[in-house]
Amino acid sequence: MFDGRLRNGVDRCTAPVGEVLGKSGISPNALTVGGVVFAVAAGAEIAMGHLGIGLVLQVLCGLPDLLDGPLAKATGKMSPRGAYLDSVSDRISDSALLVGVAWYLSNSKSPHDAFLAIGVLAISMVISYQRAKAESLGVRAKGGLMERAERFLALLFGVAFSSLLVPVLWVILLLSSITAIQRFAKVWSGLSIDSTDREAMPTSVRNRGDLPATSRAELTKENHLARFRPRPRVESRWRVWREGAAARRGTERNEPVAVFATWRARHGGFFAGRQARRRDDSLAGSRRATPAYRRLSSRQKNH
């Protein structure tokens, strides 16, 4: 709910703070790690019963988590490593705070209330895993009644008013369970798109990066299944070389004939003229051998 409705307004408010922090030279990863340190310290103080100090440390834990994103945008240091570190840090912070609350409740008058904090921790991990797995399949899985920001604020309220801590944990557990069901239904419906709908799309549209989330999920699922399908037969290197060698041998055999034909086409006129002269000479020789040609030649000599 927070990511869908209040995220843009919060980003507009934290963007100037991120620019100021960027000028100071603080790294976004350092800010994220600092938030984890405050979260572990807050969980330890809450476990020892120092709820006032734990409340202050929890606030200090939330500020770095709120500002590391605007700082990364302002400094241009947004990277997959930073996103991965931020996601892992969120899980560590949630675990540290809820384990501290569970330890605190185990030492109270009703030790069984500690299982409330453990249940909240378990369902929060399920919600986070649903989002991570859905995004790996190409489906958007944000949204719900109780996301991480709402859980953090509700837990902050419960620590501030210790008498209401157990009822707040019940509310968090109930709304978090509803959120897990909502996300499961959303991802389930997103992955149920028929492949015929995707095939009906034009190739130019199907290959674009702004496809609907359901279509991207279907393509990702098909790519995953393609690894287990039998691959087509690949021609061996020996067969390819052998066919190429046969083609080369055929070219070499026909090469002299082709060269001679080319040369004869270029010099055919010369040979045709020479053959014509030889034919004329042979005809002339045959005429000289006749008796009429001898009598005519003798008369010419007498005159």
In a domain, 219, yes or no: no
pLDDT of residue 74: 85
Alpha-helical regions (H) of the chain: 7-24, 28-47, 51-75, 80-106, 114-136, 148-160, 165-190, 195-199, 203-206, 213-226, 237-266, 268-288, 291-302
- The CATH number assigned to the domain holding 86 equals 1.20.120.1760
Domain boundary among 192, 209, 229: 192
pLDDT at 223: 57
Give the number of other Cβ atoms within 10 Å of residue 44's Cβ.
Answer: 17
Question: 180 and 253: one domain?
Answer: no
Domain assignment of residue 117, yes or no: yes
Domain annotation covers residue 220: no
Q: Is residue 21, in this structure, part of any structural domain at all?
A: yes
**The total number of structural domains that make up the chain:** 2
Within this chain, do residues 85 and 12 fall inside the same structural domain, yes or no?
yes
Say what the pLDDT of residue 78 is: 84
Is 160 within a domain? yes
Say if 231 falls within a structural domain: no
Identify whether residues 27 and 111 lie together within a single domain.
yes
The answer to whether position 266 is within a domain reads yes
Q: CA–CA separation, 97 vs 45, rounded Å?
A: 10
By annotation, the residues acting in catalysis are: 90
Q: pTM to 2 decimals? A: 0.62
- pLDDT for 79: 85
35 falls within a domain: yes
For residue 63, the tally of other CB atoms under 10 A from its CB is 15
Block mean pLDDT (10 aa), the chain, length 303: 67 82 86 93 94 93 87 85 90 94 91 92 93 86 85 93 93 94 89 53 45 52 54 52 63 51 58 63 57 58 53
Q: Do 87 and 152 share a structural domain?
A: yes
The pLDDT, as a whole number, for residue 195 is 43
- What is the residue range of 295's domain? 237-302
Residue 187 and residue 256 in one domain = no
Give whole-number Cα distances, 120 to 3, 110, 273, in Å: 20, 17, 106
- pLDDT for the residue 19: 84
- Report the distance separating Cα 38 and Cα 60, nearest Å: 6
